[in-house]
Structure 1
Amino acid sequence: MSSSSEHWNNIFCTKADPQLGWYEGDVTQTLKFLAQIPPGESRRVFLPGAGTSSLVEELLNRGHELILNDISDEALNKLRHRVGTNDKLTYLHHDISKTLPDGISPIDLWIDRAVLHFLLDEDDIQTYFSNLKSAIRLGGYALLAEFSLAGAPKCAGLELHRYCVDELSRRMCPEFVLVEHEDYTYINPAGDPRPYVYALFKT
């Protein structure tokens, strides 16, 4: 975990949020998918790569309980300084490609924007999906937003495993079914297009 943590810590230490290649000042795309989930069915939310995302405040304002996970303790420290601490927030410094620690309550919704695609080793990918499937309660949801096959091959100086909806669906089966998906082109802070695939699943 140390080398990956160091890589991400260096990024979060040396760049302001709007300089990050994945920075979103507007999280409408994610909220559009969350609007498909009936009210009251996504109270406890797990973000496997929370970073310093402004989605956190949006979810808090909607009354969700959040588990904010990141491999970078610097990212979590920045987020904690910005958002604070309360009984609706849990900060978790963990490598999501490793088995989740014991004691995490069942969650209603897993939101991954641009985390899974950084995992290249098949064992790491399988552990990620095992974490997701074991963490989400029956009837819960997962929203995965990853670089699509048309997307850039690298991000943050790292090679990526890009996805199509068919591969995501295959890896989520048989426990989850696909609810909705969309190809979406995100324009990063440098003005460059970044094709994503968004896919919402339900148990």
Structure 2
Amino acid sequence: MNSTPTRPVDAAQRSAFWQDVHTDHDVDGVSWWQSVPELSLSLVDATGVGVDRPIIDVGAGWSTLVDHLLELGYTDLTAIDLSTTALQVVRDRLGPAGEAVVLQMADVLDLHPARRYALWHDRAVYHFLTEPDEREDYLASLERCLEPGGHLVVATFGPDGPTTCSGLPIVRYTHAELAAQFPTYELLGTAGDEHHTPWGATQQFTAVHLRRPT
């Protein structure tokens, strides 16, 4: 893949871009890979969402979050991504134990779900949304997906984090700046992480836990 890719600007380009990323790299050949997503797991636990409640992980890629949530007893899990290659890796990894996990190719900027979720988790998408209209589309999808009173967990690169990821520009956020992206939501907690990439670099992550009004 080109080391300086053209920024995808529509659904078809986004899908092609992330399909290429997950086809051209091994699982541990991307900077965001974690064998144990400790920050995400701690934030999911902090929400207090019951193990039988519906949870969606957006932009999941190869993430092991659903694997660990299954092990913890969560039973209603959905993961979406633009890469069918990434989702097939997750399906193969989960095996029979993950038959009930919904793995769906979908664009987080244009979600029209048949149901709502108690928890929306995003560690991989929001900081790629550099344009206001993209953030507006994300918020519209969130509003369609998250039930009133539902929990929102979002992580992005922090103010000292990288300025690009997979060759694409990103937006870095402080806790306050990230929470302000969701002005009607109640801020319940903040967290951070110094993520170590598979090749030893350190990336600062900022995360917030918010709740949608009832």
1:155 alignment partner AA: C
The match for 1:196 among 183, 186, 205 is 205
Tell me which residue corresponds to 1:75. 86
User: Secondary structure of the equivalent of 1:120?
Assistant: coil
Q: In 1, are the aligned partners of 2:49 and 2:119 still within 8 Å (CA)?
A: no
2:93 alignment partner AA: R
Tell me which residue corresponds to 2:149. 139
Tell me which residue corresponds to 2:165. 155
**Residues 46-195 of structure 1: pairs in structure 2 closer than 5 A:** 46-61=56-71, 62-84=73-95, 88-97=100-109, 99-103=110-114, 105-174=115-184, 176-195=185-204
Q: CA deviation at 1:40?
A: 1.6
1:94 alignment partner AA: A
Please tell me the root mean square deviation across aligned C-alpha atoms, in Å.
1.8
Q: CA deviation at 1:52?
A: 1.1
* Consecutive unaligned residues in structure 2, runs of 5 or more: 1-10
Q: CA deviation at 1:34?
A: 2.0
* Consecutive unaligned residues in structure 1, runs of 5 or more: none
1:63 & 1:45 partners in 2: Cα distance?
9
Aligned-pair identity (%): 25
Q: Deviations over 1:98-139 (max 9, x none)?
A: x21242x11011110121111222111111122112211122
More moved, 2-11 vs 183-192? 2-11
1:183 alignment partner AA: G
Q: In 2, are the aligned partners of 1:114 and 1:147 still within 8 Å (CA)?
A: no
Q: In 2, are the aligned partners of 1:182 and 1:198 still within 8 Å (CA)?
A: yes
2:75 & 2:127 partners in 1: Cα distance?
26
Q: In 1, are the aligned partners of 2:112 and 2:141 still within 8 Å (CA)?
A: no
Q: In 2, are the aligned partners of 1:42 and 1:140 still within 8 Å (CA)?
A: no
1:153 & 1:166 partners in 2: Cα distance?
19
Q: In 2, are the aligned partners of 1:42 and 1:109 still within 8 Å (CA)?
A: no
Q: TM-score, normalised by structure 1?
A: 0.90
Q: CA deviation at 1:56?
A: 1.3
User: Secondary structure of the equivalent of 1:152?
Assistant: coil
Q: TM-score, normalised by structure 2?
A: 0.86
How many residue pairs get aligned? The number is 200
Q: In 2, are the aligned partners of 1:42 and 1:108 still within 8 Å (CA)?
A: no
1:184 & 1:13 partners in 2: Cα distance?
28
